[in-house]
Amino acid sequence: MKFFIDTGNLAQIKEANELGILDGVTTNPSLMAKEGIKGQEAVFNHYKTICEMVDGDISAEVISTEFNGIIEEGKKLAAIHPNIVVKVPMIKDGVKAIKWFTDNGIRTNCTLVFSAGQAILAAKAGATYVSPFIGRIDDSTWDGVDLIAQISNIYSIQGFKTEILAASIRSALHIVKCAEAGADVCTCPLDSILGLLKHPLTDIGLAKFLEDAKKTA
Ligand code: G3P
């Protein structure tokens, strides 16, 4: 399973990248706004900076919602760097645009996916990635991880090549459960990635080893 970081924060991207396990970055307009980035030029420059920092796929989201606008915006985003993946919402014009991008060699990430039916449509349109939002499904009292398992099963039966990118990850446990359910990629906040490191027995064991090492010094 690939690890992406889900943020527009350069310090967090740097920290995750320095761990050596980062395969890419996802962003969205909310995450860009959180960093105080304003105006198309600034947003595009920010994507360029991220592409220069991380050698992997970088999702950049369109904000247009009608076909021609999505295509024009997506072409500009894709021209920023070869690693840019154009993130397109799961709406009617979005599906149409994903098919157009597929036919024209531009890679896509179909976002805001909350059902297996939507995931089938994204795959039919040729999306490179499909992004089911696990945490937001949990928030609505359904199990987001179940959706990952269902999509994984359908894609495997049908031979769809679209990669399942588990998004809206809220914890280290989500990452483990998504790996188990067949996600190809997990895009996570830095805290959830670092959460994977933690175990009290590791800390206790290390303290004991270091204590005993003093006896051998
Ligand atoms: O990748 C999608 C993600 O940014 C949404 O996360 O926590 O706002 O549901 P969240």
From first to last of its 217 residues, the chain has per-residue pLDDT tens of 999 999 999 999 999 999 999 999 999 999 999 999 999 999 999 999 999 999 999 999 999 999 999 999 999 999 999 999 999 999 999 999 999 999 999 999 999 999 999 999 999 999 999 999 999 999 999 999 999 999 999 999 999 999 999 999 999 999 999 999 999 999 999 999 999 999 999 999 999 999 999 999 8
pTM of the model: 0.96
What is the Å distance from ligand 1's center to 112 Cα? 9
Atom of ligand 1 nearest to the CA of 26: 1
What is the Å distance from ligand 1's center to 216 Cα? 49
Q: For atom 3 of ligand 1, which residue has the closest CA?
A: 168
Going through 13-150 in order, the beta strands assigned E by DSSP cover: 24-26, 57-61, 84-89, 108-113, 129-132
Q: Tell me the CB-side half-sphere exposure of residue 11, using CA atoms within 13 A.
A: 2
DSSP 167: B
**Contact at 8 Å (CB) between 117 and 93?**
no
**Contact at 8 Å (CB) between 136 and 168?**
yes
Residue 15's Cα: distance from chain center in Å?
17
Q: For atom 8 of ligand 1, which residue has the closest CA?
A: 168
Going through the chain in order, the beta strands assigned E by DSSP cover: 2-6, 24-26, 57-61, 84-89, 108-113, 129-132, 163-166, 185-188
Q: For atom 1 of ligand 1, which residue has the closest CA?
A: 167
Q: Which of 30, 58, 114, 164 to mutate to test the pocket of ligand 1 (most atoms within 8 A of CB)?
A: 30
